[in-house]
Amino acid sequence: MLTITDLHASVGDKPILKGLTLDVPAGEIHAIMGPNGAGKSTLANVLGGKPGYEVTGGSVMFRGQDLFALEPHERAAAGLFLGFQYPVEIPGVSNVQFLREALNAQRRSRDEAPLSGGEFLKLAKDKAGLLKMDMDMLKRQVNVGFSGGEKKRAEMVQMGILDPAFAVLDETDSGLDIDALRIVGAGINSIMRSPDKGVLLITHYQRLLDVVRPDKVSILAGGRIVETGGPELALRLEAEGYDSVMA
Amino acid sequence: MMAEAATLTLPSRRDEAWRYADMDAVARLGAAALDQWQVINVAAGESVTRCMIVGSDAPELHRIRVTLGEGARAAFFVTNRGGDYTRVELEVRLAKGAHFEFGGVTIGGGTATREFVTQVIHAEPEATSNQTVRAVHWGTGTGNFLGEIKVARHAQKTDAAQDFKALLLEAGAGANAVPQLEIFADDVKCAHGATVGELDEAARFYMMARGVDPATAQRLLVQAFIGDAFVSLDDEAERETLLDAALSALEGARL
């Protein structure tokens, strides 16, 4: 579903990804772990198409398409969702307005009829409920005045509404307390655990993986995947640290 | 009348209130146009609200003189989307306890200058005024806000505020803010602020990552930016009309 081959990318003049290869087929939740500075967020941002991240080599195929031939909004319409480590505040724009524009833009690009205001609100209410989020919060400005945990839950509400085929989740567990972690984890399972969907789950900690059980775990270090294994790899990392596993 | 008009001379850029004006366009308007003042008197305790959409392919000058009686209230909301030099002037005199509210948006590209020039005279005590201007420009378009506030010696407890923010979508666009405060009373509050910035790229990428196309992302961000100018307009339909007029001018802006 997502096939990354020998990917090289730089931020400014600094090479960060140095030959990253990874394949995530449909039906797989693939966790990426790695030390600080390994290139985890760079990978997420390159996949999302964030300005300032330059691809200098390699390729990414997503559902049979060259991902880098698509603009960020086209990637979203093609079914890619990027969960932000630091969700952005947008003063003056409500969540409801933003998400309805986003969903209907995606639907239009797939030749589907846009949802009416009523239809959209019903869908939003349903997905907000899944993440135990009050509808009143969705009527507020995008992420403005939200706590760290609320921002991450709002990200998952967005994911629920947009219903992507593939999600790249960049440290979605950071800034969450134990209860919020469970709610967000359950949200990921409910929205994305499916034979025809895939997830790249970037995280520092085992605790999210206790809720969202990965099918595979890869270690990203020095801009490359250095080891791939099953869920037991994450447990070994948690117990022994990166040095021992990568040695 | 003819004889009187003939004696009028054109202003020059040495006049503070015409410092950033497009003098070629002013000359095309002619001296007679400068003598056209719309006069609005609001009696004590009364209230008026005016919404205007100004701007066309020719130069425009709108001069309005407002006199507010005791406790009177006047609110002006203007979308200035001129394709040529377009200037809106408001000269407002407030009696005791009166309130003047102004929300203005200048928006446009090309080479035109759009401007708001206000003179707010707090002639009596306890009057309040609040002015919010937003400018969105691209190409080599320019937006100006020249706001003069005069507080008379005995106009204690005056509360006057001015807020200007400009969003420049391209390097060649410009904005000028000239606040001018002339305060002779000692117990007054006068606040003014001015900022010039660019579109929030992080917000734009966030929107695009959710599937919003670049033009819609820009429209949503501009809408949020200019919304401040009309936030104190209660009539939702009027507010929509002013916003739509501004946002339709945005079509054709650089993404």
Task: Note the pLDDT of residue B207.
Answer: 97
Where b means 16+ CB within 10 Å and e means fewer, B15-31 reads eebbbbbbeebbeebee
Write out chain A residues lying below 8 Å of B208, CB-based: 49, 71-73, 76
Q: How far is CA A61 from the centre of its chain?
A: 17
Tens of pLDDT, residues B186-231: 999 999 999 999 999 999 999 999 999 999 999 999 999 999 999 9
Q: Name the pLDDT band for B2 (thresholds 50, 70, 90).
A: very low
Residue type present at position A157:
V
Q: Is A53 on the interface with B (CB under 8 A)?
A: no
Tokens of B141: 């378009």
Write out chain A residues lying below 8 Å of B223, CB-based: 92-93
Query: Contact B172/B254 with Cβ under 8 angstroms?
Result: no
Task: Note the pLDDT of residue A74.
Answer: 96
Tens of pLDDT, residues B124-163: 999 999 999 999 999 999 999 999 999 999 999 999 999 9
Q: From its phi and psi, is residue B41 left (phi > 0), alpha (psi between -120 and 50) or beta?
A: beta
Residue type present at position B129:
S
Query: Contact A172/A188 with Cβ under 8 angstroms?
Result: yes
Closest CA to A227 of A242, A239, A213, A215: A242
Task: Note the pLDDT of residue B203.
Answer: 96
Query: Contact B86/B117 with Cβ under 8 angstroms?
Result: no
**Secondary structure, 3-state, chain A:** CEEEEEEEEEECCEEEEEEEEEEECCCCEEEEECCCCCCHHHHHHHHHCCCCEEEEEEEEEECCEEHHHCCHHHHHHCCEEEECCCCCCEEEEEHHHHHHHHHHHHHHHCCCCCCCHHHHHHHHHHHHHHCCCCHHHHHCEECCCCCHHHHHHHHHHHHHHHCCCEEEEECCCCCCCHHHHHHHHHHHHHHHCCCCCEEEEECCCHHHHHHCCCCEEEEEECCEEEEEECHHHHHHHHHHHHHHHHC
| CB pair distance less than 8 Å for B212 and A109 | no
Q: Name the pLDDT band for A242 (thresholds 50, 70, 90).
A: confident
Does residue B6 carry a pLDDT above 60? no
Does residue B3 carry a pLDDT above 60? no
Does residue B72 carry a pLDDT above 50? yes
Q: How far apart are CA B152 and CA B219, in angstroms?
A: 42
Q: Is A101 on the interface with B (CB under 8 A)?
A: yes
Stretch B18-37: mean pLDDT: 92
Cross-chain CB nearest to A105 (options B202, B216, B223): B216
Does residue B5 carry a pLDDT above 50? no
Tens of pLDDT, residues A167-224: 999 999 888 989 999 999 999 999 999 999 999 999 988 889 999 999 999 999 999 9
Q: How far is CA B163 from the centre of its chain?
A: 10
Residue B235's alpha-carbon distances to A22, A93, A141, B74, in angstroms, are: 56, 20, 21, 15
The three-class DSSP label of residue A53 is strand
ipTM for the complex shown: 0.95
Nearest-CA distance from A240 to chain B in Å? 36
Tens of pLDDT, residues B94-114: 999 999 999 999 999 999 999
Cross-chain CB nearest to A51 (options B201, B220, B224): B201
Write out chain B residues lying below 8 Å of A48, CB-based: 205, 209
Does residue B4 carry a pLDDT above 80? no
Task: Note the pLDDT of residue B9.
Answer: 80
Residue B175's H or E segment, with its range, is strand B174-183
Task: Note the pLDDT of residue A247.
Answer: 58
Q: How far apart are CA A112 and CA A162, in angstroms?
A: 13
Stretch B20-32: mean pLDDT: 92
Task: Note the pLDDT of residue B7.
Answer: 55
Query: Contact B64/B77 with Cβ under 8 angstroms?
Result: no
Write out chain B residues lying below 8 Å of A158, CB-based: 210
Stretch A129-152: mean pLDDT: 91
Q: How far apart are CA A205 and CA A214, in angstroms?
A: 12
Q: Name the pLDDT band for A42 (thresholds 50, 70, 90).
A: very high
Task: Note the pLDDT of residue B251.
Answer: 86
What average pLDDT does chain A have? Answer: 94
Percent of chain B past pLDDT 70, that is, above it, reads 97
Q: Name the pLDDT band for B8 (thresholds 50, 70, 90).
A: low
Weakest-pLDDT range from A173-182, B38-47, B50-59:
A173-182
What average pLDDT does chain B have? Answer: 94
| CB pair distance less than 8 Å for B209 and A93 | no
Q: How far apart are CA B97 and CA A144, in angstroms?
A: 36
Closest CA to B119 of B99, B146, B101, B144: B146
Residue entry with tokens 């198409």: A49
The three-class DSSP label of residue B31 is helix
Q: Which residues contact B35 (CB under 8 A, 6 or more apart)?
A: B4, B5, B8
Show me where the domains of chain B are located. 2-250
Report which of residues A76 and A134 the model is more confident about. Answer: A76
Q: Is A49 on the interface with B (CB under 8 A)?
A: yes
Q: How far apart are CA A171 and CA B10, in angstroms?
A: 64
Task: Note the pLDDT of residue A98.
Answer: 95
Percent of chain B past pLDDT 90, that is, above it, reads 89
Stretch A9-27: mean pLDDT: 96
- Delineate the domains of chain A, giving CATH numbers in brackets: 2-246 (3.40.50.300)
Tens of pLDDT, residues A102-125: 999 999 988 999 999 999 999 999
- In the stretch 142-161 of chain A, residues with CB closer than 8 A to chain B read 158
Does residue A49 carry a pLDDT above 80? yes
Taking the model in full, what pTM does it have? 0.90
| CB pair distance less than 8 Å for A102 and B207 | yes
Cross-chain CB nearest to B203 (options A76, A88, A97): A88
Q: How far apart are CA A239 and CA A246, in angstroms?
A: 13
Tokens of A191: 């929205």
